[in-house]
A and B are shown apart, each in its own frame.
Chain A
Amino acid sequence: MTIYLLKRLLIGIATLIVASLVVFLMLEVVPGDPARLMLGMNTSDAQVDLLREQMGLNQPLILRYLDWIRGLLRLDFGKSYTYSVPVIDLIRERLVVSFPLAVISLTLSTLIAIPVGLFAAARRGKAGDTAAMAVAQVGVAMPNFWFALLLVYVFAVWLRLVPAGGFPGWGNGIWPALKALILPALALALPQAAILARVTRAALIEVLNEDYIRTARAKGMPMRAVLWRHALRNAMIPVLTIMGLQFAFLLAGTIIIENVFYLPGLGRLVFQAIIQRDLIVVESVVMLLVAAVVLVNLIVDLSYALVDPRLRARQ
């Protein structure tokens, strides 16, 4: 178990190092000068150079990389070129939107997907299964921005139950903030739930063919109990893997939904920073996300061990 964990940890650290190099070099290759972008078309080259100097962009490449890594290790992410505030503050401001949104979406999608997957697997090949999977197929195929707009028109424009977008901040009370997150969370959760339901169903069906299921049924255990106690637990590994991937995506891959609901999330921060060549922000946020993905994977690996005693026993 310890060796298993150590191995996972080392792989995680190696991933982080390689990612930092790739991220840094890739952004260096991208053409475009943040100083020129800020000053626009009416300024002389000398003045652009002056701003580059002030931004610290005229230092050699290797020095800037080492500076950046040294900062990261001390959790000092540097200062944004365009916003000229510490990057960590920007990330913190966005995480208070993106993190709860990701958690709510994943919870919603799990709450929908697991029962649907169980339901479909138990009725494999019957009408209920076909119907559930047809709906899931629509969910997978439906573009989420389109679904998001549909939600906006129904619940914000027509029924006026929730705002059409924006985020009031947690400072103005929990309910208004939650209200602003309901539609985006739904828009994100349903397509994810569709995928998750299909994975759950497939994993369950495979498990249901195992001998121990037949044994459990043979000893007179009701189907429902077999499904929950034996089948689901054994089918959890692929489901957890997908959930881990989905959570990482939900943290910053939601730029489209953030745009539809004009939410100040991490996705938009990165997007904006790329457009404005605010390289330090892009680099830091991407590294943070890489770290998040590595961490989520580590947790998923850990939870494998939890649901599968064989992994725990193996030394």
Chain B
Amino acid sequence: MKQWKTILAAAALALASGTAAMAARTDLVLGMPLEPPHLDPTAGAAAAIDEVFYANVFEGLTRIGSRGEVLPDLAESWTISDDGKTYTFKLRSGVKFHDGSDFDASDVKFSLDRARGESSVNAQKGLFAPIDTIEVVDPATVKVTLKNPLGSFLYNLGWGDAVIVAPESAETNKEKPVGTGPLKFQNWAKGSSITLVKADGYWGDPVALDKAEFRIIPDAAAAIPALLSGDVQALPNFALGDALAQVKADPRFKVVIGTTEGETVLSTNNKKPPFDNLKVRQAIAHAIDRKALIDGATGGLGTPIGSHFAPHNPAYIDLTGTYPHDIAKAKELLKEAGLADGFKATLKLPPVGYARQGGEIIASQLREIGIDLQIIPVEWADWLKQVFTDKDYDLSIVSHTEPNDIDIYARKDYYFNYDNPAFNKVIDELNLTSDEAKRTELYKQAQKILADDAVNGFLFELPKVGIWDAKVEGLWENSPIQANDLTKVKWAD
């Protein structure tokens, strides 16, 4: 009898502790391959900064949602004047920075003025160039006047580079970021991890997580065992390559393949002979077999593109059929260009898997039509200098990961060396248009011109490969902007 009692008591205890263990976890460790150089999203281009802090710690007037849509954030609502030049933002009340200071209209003015100021080193300073004046109407109202109407202004304010910072902490954000978001910065062990904890008194819905740690794991071969051993519970965006197969069949994990804003292109120097000849560029486009390329460079996960536009965007049109894979046609075009015997050129490749592997495949595909590519591997710093700044290149492969960046083709002196007045006109018009339907139409025109001109070899949209514990919910499937939004993330019970 006594023995029974003991067993019952033990069972009760086990049950009790069992239910305790059943209560959902509130901590999450995420692995990421690159460490941010510093922690201020308004002072650097590194995607890793936004991947930790966007929406979690820092907030802007608007924000970009999981489908790429513009949502109100610190601005509760806004009105746009009829001429499209004046935006009046109604700010949210009761918002506090993590250091306890209040958020109001003066912080908005400070942040935007700082970003566009003369000594600003904001990596996206161009976003703020259209701003003429910023006026604090009252503590809860800001009026921004633009030099010209700009259809994408609300979207631009949703970039990580446009988040609102406080004058008291702006200078120290690189080391100790202070924002208004649902999570606050706790600790940065350099080379190792960044820890965020739940912020008390957040103005919106509080996050389910009490603690989130971003652990820096530079190597895919190390990331998988970290996941398998339970040290890390999510790898939200990791180029895992062959290692992916190892966890794909494991029911403890969810593998989620999504899209990004990374248009991967065979960058072409449009002013350098023979690439200044449309026929040569068309020949290259015909010679590229996207399917084989995507299989080889991304494990079959990339989405083919025919122009410089993300397939998940509502304004996307499929132009992959503009110059279908056709070797005979490609050879004929080369012949018409007076290069029947082919030619030699260089292909400079930055140190990323998709470029290095994709480069080998592109080189072998172009060899079939007589174009002999010499592959030159370069480091990032070198790539930015030689290819991007000095434009000393023939061909390169790179993914353009900025969201909605088709306008780079209208930029003077951009490294593609492309200059088409018809295209520039479309972009100018786009900037002046805020009507959604009209903007969509213009975006379609722009895509079409780039595809027809075969400005670059349009290859594929970079996939977002995410793996996480099957019980983790709310992580983004796609990556419409560089972020790991944790605001809706929770553990299933």
Contacts and interface: CB of A to CB of B under 8 A. Distances in A.
Select the residue from A42, A43, A51, A265 with max chain B CB neighbours within 10 A: A42
A198 interface: no
Interface residues of A, number: 52
A137 interface: no
Interface string A229-271: 0000000000000000000000000000001111111001100
Given A82-B37, A93-B191, A268-B191, A41 B225 contact: no
A262 B218 contact: yes
A169 B222 CA distance: 19
Contacts of B222: 149, 152, 164-165, 259-262
Interface string B115-140: 00001110111100000000000000
Contacts of A275: 379-381
29 contacts: A31-B381, A31-B385, A32-B381, A33-B389, A34-B381, A36-B381, A38-B123, A39-B123, A41-B45, A41-B402, A43-B125, A47-B120, A50-B119, A51-B121, A82-B38, A90-B190, A149-B225, A152-B222, A157-B225, A157-B229, A163-B231, A164-B222, A165-B222, A260-B222, A262-B215, A264-B192, A268-B218, A269-B191, A275-B379
B389 A32 contact: no
A169 B35 CA distance: 18
B45 A262 contact: no
B245 interface: no
B121 A54 contact: yes
Interface in B229-269: 229-231
B457 interface: no
B46 A40 contact: yes
Contacts of B400: 41
Interface in B152-202: 174-175, 189-193
Given A33-B381, A38-B45, A44-B126, 12 more contacts: A32-B380, A32-B382, A42-B405, A83-B37, A149-B221, A149-B225, A152-B229, A164-B231, A166-B192, A264-B192, A275-B379, A276-B381
Given A37-B380, A264-B189, A31 B386 contact: yes
B38 A83 contact: yes
Interface residues of B, number: 45
Interface in B285-317: none
Contacts of A169: 189, 192
A45 B411 CA distance: 13
A30 B385 CA distance: 11
Contacts of B441: none
A32 B390 CA distance: 11
A167 interface: yes
A17 interface: no
B44 interface: yes
Contacts of A39: 44-45, 121, 123
B104 to A, nearest CB: 29
B40 to A, nearest CB: 10
Contacts of B191: 93-94, 263-265, 268-269, 272
A156 interface: yes
A50 B118 CA distance: 9
B269 to A, nearest CB: 16
A152 B232 CA distance: 14
A165 B382 contact: no
Interface string A138-167: 000000010001001100110010011111
Contacts of B381: 30-34, 36-37, 275-277
A311 interface: no
Interface of A: 30-34, 36-45, 47, 50-51, 54, 82-85, 90, 93-94, 145, 149, 152-153, 156-157, 160, 163-167, 169, 259-265, 268-269, 272, 275-277
Contacts of B37: 38, 82-83, 276
B28 to A, nearest CB: 15
Nearest to A271: B218
B388 interface: yes
A40 B217 CA distance: 22
A83 B190 contact: yes
Interface in B23-72: 35, 37-38, 44-46
A157 B221 CA distance: 13
Contacts of B38: 82-84
A261 B226 CA distance: 9
B442 interface: no
Q: List the 7 closest A-B pairs by CB distance, nearest first.
A: A40-B45, A32-B381, A264-B191, A82-B37, A164-B229, A264-B192, A164-B226
B219 A36 contact: no
A265 B160 CA distance: 30
A33 B385 contact: yes
Given A94-B191, A259-B219, A268-B191, A40 B123 contact: yes
Contacts of B385: 31-33, 36
A165 B217 CA distance: 9
A158 to B, nearest CB: 9
A269 to B, nearest CB: 6
Nearest to B174: A84
Contacts of B218: 259, 262, 268
Contact of A42 (B124, B192, B215, B219): B124
Contacts of B146: none
B106 to A, nearest CB: 26
A79 B104 CA distance: 34
A40 B44 CA distance: 8
Contact of A31 (B45, B120, B382): B382
Contacts of B174: 84
Given A50-B121, A83-B38, A37 B384 contact: yes
B397 interface: no
Contacts of A163: 229, 231
B46 A166 contact: no
Contact of B389 (A45, A260, A262, A276): A45
